[in-house]
A and B are shown apart, each in its own frame.
Chain A
Amino acid sequence: MTFLNDAWNWLNHAAHWHGSGGIPMRILQHLGYSGVVLLIAMVIALPLGVMIGHTGRGTVVVSTLANVGRAIPTLGLLVLLAVFLTFSPLAWIIPLVALAVPPILVNAYEGVAGVDREVRDAARGMGMTGWQRLVKVEVPVAMPLIVLGLRTAAIFVVATVTIIAYIGLGGLGRYIIDGLASYRYGPVAGGALVVIVLALAVQALFVGLSRLLVPAGLREQARHGKTELPT
Chain B
Amino acid sequence: MTWSWIPANSGEILSLTAKNALLGVVPALIGLAISLPLGIACVRWGWLYPPALSGVNILYALPSLAVFVALQPYFEVETDPPVIIALTVFSLCVLLPSVVDGLRAVPEHVRQSATAMGFGPLRRLTQVEMPLAAPVIIGGLRVATVSSISLASVGQLIGVSSLGYLFIDGYQRAFPTEIYVGITLLIILAAAADLLLVLSRWWLTAWRRGDAGEAGVT
Contacts and interface: CB of A to CB of B under 8 A. Distances in A.
Interface of A: 2-3, 6, 67, 70-77, 79-80, 82-84, 155, 158-160, 162-163, 166-167, 173, 176-177, 180, 185, 188-189, 191-193, 195-196, 199-200, 202-203
A154 to B, nearest CB: 9
B93 to A, nearest CB: 11
A195 B163 CA distance: 25
A73 B186 contact: yes
B60 to A, nearest CB: 7
A66 to B, nearest CB: 9
Interface in B175-210: 175-176, 179-180, 182-183, 186-187, 190-191, 194
Nearest to B73: A2
A79 to B, nearest CB: 4
B63 A199 contact: yes
A80 B180 contact: yes
A176 B70 contact: no
Interface in B140-184: 143, 146-147, 149-150, 153-154, 156-158, 163-164, 166-168, 170-171, 174-176, 179-180, 182-183
A162 B74 CA distance: 22
Interface string B59-85: 011111111011111100000000000
Given A75-B153, A180-B69, 7 more contacts: A2-B73, A75-B157, A75-B164, A76-B182, A188-B69, A192-B69, A199-B63
Contacts of A167: 171
Contacts of B175: 83
Contacts of A176: 65-66, 69
The 7 A-B pairs of least Cβ separation, nearest first, read A159-B63, A79-B171, A192-B66, A71-B190, A2-B73, A76-B183, A203-B61
Given A2-B73, A196-B66, A155 B157 contact: no
A130 B190 CA distance: 40
B183 A77 contact: yes
A52 B178 CA distance: 38
Interface of A is mostly: helix
Nearest to A198: B63
A200 B66 contact: no
Interface of B is mostly: helix
5 contacts: A75-B154, A76-B164, A159-B63, A192-B70, A203-B61
B110 to A, nearest CB: 21
Nearest to B191: A71
B41 to A, nearest CB: 23
Nearest to A3: B70
B179 A80 contact: yes
Contacts of A158: 63
A62 B95 CA distance: 22
Contact of A155 (B60, B146, B150, B163): B60
Contacts of A202: 61
A176 B179 CA distance: 23
